Structures are given as structure tokens and as C-alpha cells.
Amino acid sequence: MRIPTPPRLPLRPFRDARRAFALVAAGIGVQLAFCVLLAAPWLTVNPSHPLLVIAAVIAPFAVAAAATPWLTAVQRERFRALARVDIPRTPEGAGPRGIGTRAGRRQAVYHLLAGPLAALGGALTFLLGLVSLGAATVYVWVWALPVSWRLAQAGYTTQAAYVTAAGLAGLGATAWLTGALARADGRTALRLLGPSREERLARRVEDLTERRADVVDAADAERRRIERDLHDGAQQRLVSMAVNLGLAKVTLTDLPDDARKVIDEAHREAKEAIAELSSLVRGLHPAVLEDRGLDAALSGIAARAPLPVRLKVDLASRPSPTIEAVAYFVVSEALANVVKHAQASRADVTVERFGGILLVVVSDDGVGGADPSSGGTGLAGLAKRVASVDGTFSISSPPGGPTVVTVELPCAL
């Protein structure tokens, strides 16, 4: 998607004079139609009663306001066809709701104020153009008009030369003014008929939010896929290898010592590889999380932690898989940090839901002094992962402890 910045009007005096002229002329045409609408009550009914007069004045404006979406479409078409400017559609106001919306009201301002002003300016400019044309060709008139039509006996005088020069300058001015007017009209139209800056930014934010959510979800799906592949492939092979080695250990009792040693060694290595792979998989996206949700997955982490962990999970329903994955990651990283750095004797984990917020709190009674800005801990990565779903992450860890990590994750309700 393009960033919807207002395009510049591709108009320069003279070179684009024709296009500007057409644009302004069309603008005048539209406004003339509006004038006809204004005049309609007088041309038809010609009211005399004061109330009727007021009604006759107000009614055309009301009609114009009601016709805002249609008028906007007309103006949009005028700019598209004559100035090659596409005015981006507004998210609202394009529909039949008209001036019920902010965008609709902005459009009404254009139709009732900016448009007529531009047309008035255009009419004056064209008048100047006509006068200038007459003045520039004064010698032709001197020569061509019959005597009885002339204003005065100008003849081929110096005065006429001045008039000619002034006329030429006036033509130049007309061309420039037409261009300027077209540009100003275009800018105003873009501002009033197109989306406002706020609307553009809001649309952009929406767009980016959606795309970021897609990226986060995709990353998560990828983690799940890797976990599946590892489990169905490498892990099964390793287990089967370890089983075979274990069987060899049990059954081949009459082997020489060094052969037995080799088998022992290989068996131990295989088991360590299995354990490593398991913990890697758990860090990615454990199957238990997908099957049974946060409570089960977290009790697994807590049970494996080498210190007593008190776990409280209170969820009426399961949040989205992505939020679950982030919450799991938060607890798993935070506990890993506690084990590595805190010298704590116990840790507490609570996961609760308050309306649209999933609150995850991990605390320990360790030495404190954890610093999320230092690269040594996983806290920075944790903060990033939380931010990726628009969550908030805070840590309180005074020297001497206790340390409390608080994470709030938005759950789509």
C-alpha cells in the first residue's frame, strides 16, 4: 500500500495553462449550476412572505449539503480528468451519510465556500484575460472596427502601444493566475475532499498494526512448525538411537571393557542430546501449550525449575495462541533469569485476566538489581517480545530484592 500523501499538482504556468484553464473553467461550470440551484426558488415560485424567503435561501444550501457525496464525486472526477490528480477517498463521508461525518462536513465546507471562492476567482481571472486579450490586440481593433463602433479615434498612437504592452502583460498574468488558482484549488480540494492528515495517519496505523499482527502470528506459526518437525523427526530418531544403545548396554554383557565404555559414552551423549533438544523445543513453542493451554504448560516449567515456584493461573477462557505464546515465553524467560541471577529461594508466578488484559507477574525473593538495559539477561528480549503484541513490560528490582516482573498483554475480547 502507498503512503497516502497528497500528490503535488503537476501544473506550471503556460506549459500547463491549458489544463489549468480547463480545470478552472469546469470549476466555474459546477458553481454556475449551484448558482442556478440558488436562484431556482426565485425563478419559479418567487416567494414574498418573509418565512418563505428564509426557506428559499436556506433550502438550496440544505440541498447542496445533502448532495455532498454526489458533489464530492463530481469534484473528484473534475480533478482526476482535468488535472490528473487522484484525491484519495475518505474512509467515511463517501457513503450516503453525507455531512453526518467529519469528512462529510469538511467536504461541505469545500462545496459551499472554497469551491465558490475558487470559481469567483476563476471568473475574475477570465475577465482579466478577456480584457487583456482585447488590449493586446488593440491595433487589430483600430484597423478592423468600423469608425462608428470605435470608442475614440485612437489611430496608431503611442497610447495604443502602451495598451498593447499592458494587454500582453495581462495575458501573462492571466495564465499565471489561472495556474495559481488551479493549484490552490487542488490543494484545498485535497485537504477538504480527501482524508485529513489525522485520517491518513489513523489509516496508516491501522494498516501497520494489522501487518505487524500478521508478522507476529507468522513467526509464531513458524515456531510451532519447527517444534513439530523437531519432535516428529530429530527427537524420535535420537530416542530410538538411545534406545538401541541402551539395549546394547543391557544385552551385550560379554563385550570387552573398552567397547562397553564406548557404548556407555554414546548412550549418555544421546540422552543429553535428547534433553537439550527437549529444552530447545520447550523454548520454541511446547506442544503442551497448544494442546492444553497456559496452565498446563506453565506448571511444566514451574515443576522443572530448580527452586520452589508457586504458580497461580486463573483464566476463564484461553487467549489467542499468539498471546499464549508470549505469556509462556515471559514466564519461561523470567524464571530462567531468576535461576541464573537472582540467588532466590522461591519464586511466584501469577497469570490472571482482567477484562481485555492478561496480567503476568513473576516475582522472586532474590538479590534484585536486575537491569533490563544490560545485555546480559534475557530481559531485553523479553521486553521486545512483549512489545511486539502491544503489551507493557515493567520490572522493579531494587538492590537487595525482591524482583517483580509485571507484563500486561492485550487479549482481543
Partner 1 sequence: MRAVIAEDSVLLRIGLVKVLEAAGFEVVAEAGDAEAALAAVAEHRPDLVVLDVRMPPGFTDEGVRAALVIRREWPDTAVLLLSQYVEERYAADLLSGDTRGIGYLLKERVADVEEFIDALRRVAAGGTALDPQVVSQLLLRRHRDPLERLTRREREVLELMASGRSNAGIAERLVVSESAVAKHINSILAKLDLPRADADHRRVLAVLRFLGVG
Q: State yes or no: residue 304 binds partner 1 (CB under 8 A).
A: yes
The DSSP 8-state label assigned to residue 96 in this structure reads T
Size of the site for partner 1 (CB under 8 A): 35
Nearest partner of 372 among 332, 333, 324, judged by Cα: 333
Q: What Rg, from alpha-carbon coordinates, does the chain have?
A: 39
* Given 63, 124, 201, 247, the residue binding partner 1 (CB under 8 A): 247
Within 268-287, which residues bind partner 1 (CB under 8 A)?
270-271, 274-275, 278, 286-287
* Given 153, 158, 251, 317, the residue binding partner 1 (CB under 8 A): 251
* Given 242, 327, 351, 361, the residue binding partner 1 (CB under 8 A): 242
Stretch that binds partner 1, among 46-54, 179-187, 296-304, 397-405 (CB under 8 A): 296-304
Structural contact between residues 403 and 396, judged by C-beta atoms closer than 8 angstroms: yes
Q: Which 3 state secondary structure label does DSSP give 95?
A: coil
Q: State yes or no: residue 300 binds partner 1 (CB under 8 A).
A: yes
Closest distance of CB 98 from partner 1, Å: 54
Closest distance of CB 300 from partner 1, Å: 6
Closest distance of CB 210 from partner 1, Å: 31
Using the minimum distance from each CB to partner 1, give the nearer residue, 189 or 347: 347
Using the minimum distance from each CB to partner 1, give the nearer residue, 138 or 281: 281
DSSP secondary structure, 223-241, as one string: HHHHHHHHIIIIIHHHHHH
* Given 91, 134, 246, 372, the residue binding partner 1 (CB under 8 A): 246
Within 306-335, which residues bind partner 1 (CB under 8 A)?
309-311
Closest distance of CB 247 from partner 1, Å: 5
H/E element, 197 = helix 197-230
Closest distance of CB 263 from partner 1, Å: 11
CA 258, 259, 260, 265 dihedral sign is: positive
* Given 38, 288, 370, 407, the residue binding partner 1 (CB under 8 A): 288
Pairing of strands 309-314, 347-354: parallel
Closest distance of CB 86 from partner 1, Å: 52
Structural contact between residues 234 and 127, judged by C-beta atoms closer than 8 angstroms: no
DSSP secondary structure, 2-29, as one string: ---PPPPP---TTTTHHHHHHHHHHHHH
Within 373-402, which residues bind partner 1 (CB under 8 A)?
none
Phi and psi (nearest 5°) for 279? -70, -30
Q: State yes or no: residue 234 binds partner 1 (CB under 8 A).
A: no
- Between CA 65 and CA 89 the distance in angstroms is 18
- Between CA 329 and CA 332 the distance in angstroms is 5
Strand segments, DSSP code E, in 54-194 are none
* Given 296, 340, 369, 387, the residue binding partner 1 (CB under 8 A): 296
Q: How many CA atoms lie within 13 A of 127 on its CB side?
A: 7
Chain contacts with partner 1 (rule: CB under 8 A): 231-232, 235-237, 239-240, 242-244, 246-247, 249-251, 267, 270-271, 274-275, 278, 286-288, 291-292, 296, 299-300, 302-304, 309-311
